[in-house]
Amino acid sequence: MSAPAKIGFSKKIGLTVTQLVIFSDLDGTLLDHETYDFSPALPALTVLKAKSIPLVLASSKTSSELSAIRAAMGMEQWPAIVENGAGELPPHAESPTNKDTYERLRRALDRLPSALQGLFRGFGDMSDRDVADITGLPLNTAALAKQRAFTEPGLFNGSAEQKSRFVAELEQSGILAQQGGRFLTLSYGGTKADKIKSIAKRLQAETTIALGDAPNDVEMLLSANVSVIIRNDNAPEVRDIPGAIYSEQPGPTGWNTTVLALLKEYCSL
């Protein structure tokens, strides 16, 4: 894999820090895959904070989960992308101002035909212990994962035919049902890439950098001017992103080295 410091960016040297916005995935990228520690990235985080360079965190986590991480990193002044792009956490907020979207999702489930009732068991139907047992999360983290505002993950326990009917019924209410590795997640749409575009416009960014580590980050990476793929030996390698930069080191160590190199190239920091 190529070392980021060896990649040239001569066309962009001389950018001011106010023209640059960085977007980053968390798990396996800025957070260690095993320990969820970000301390190896503190040197780069310190520079970003000192220079007021926006770092927008993007994750599948809920606002309640992400707000504590954002605060620990000292990045509360910037928005964050939550629930895989279905929502946004405003600066300095610990949770969205309302949960109307989530309540609409739950009401749509209640309005399903009786033959489809009870086949989907969402996080809203589960206790903290249920979520902890299913996900492997600690109990306190599972409680935060249940505090949803934009999406409803759950388990579908019917036949393939029933699932097709379930999905079709929800589509009539404008709800998208996406099957992940474990959960069927309901939302009104929205992706990390969508949020990157809107936040970058709002922050008047001239150049955007996105960092991720896995295939599910590809759309987000492609939406930025500069794509950085952080080494992750526990996930399939991300390929086919033109001009992508690959870190030599994994997790927050690779994130730190790469971001510092990019800041040196782009902003002469």
* pLDDT value at residue 18: 60
Q: What is the pLDDT of residue 85?
A: 94
Q: 10 Å Cβ neighbour count for 192?
A: 27
Q: How many CA atoms lie within 13 A of 254 on its CB side?
A: 27
Pick from 116-130, 158-172, 234-248, 252-266: least confident: 234-248
172-230 per-position pLDDT tens digit: 999 999 887 789 999 999 999 999 999 999 999 999 999 999 888 999 999 999 999 99
User: Quick one: average pLDDT of 131-143?
Assistant: 93
Cα–Cα nearest to 62, from 185, 178, 180:
185
Q: Chain-centre distance of CA 30, in angstroms?
A: 11
Angle among Cα 61, 183, 224 to the nearest 5 degrees reads: 45
The percent of residues above 70 in pLDDT, for the chain, comes to 93
Q: Average pLDDT of 155-159?
A: 96
pLDDT tens, 160-181? 999 999 999 999 999 999 887 7
Q: What global pTM score does this model have?
A: 0.86
Q: Using the predicted structure, report yes or no on whether residue 9 has a pLDDT greater than 70.
A: no
Digit-coded pLDDT (tens) for 38-47: 999 999 999 9
Q: Which domains does the chain have, with CATH numbers?
A: 4-86+193-267 (3.40.50.1000), 100-187 (3.30.980.20)
Nearest-angstrom CA–CA distance, 243 and 118:
48
Whether 6 shows a pLDDT value over 50: the answer reads no
pLDDT at 19: 86
Average pLDDT over residues 138-156: 95
Our CA dihedral for 79, 83, 85, 87, rounded to 10 degrees, sits at -60
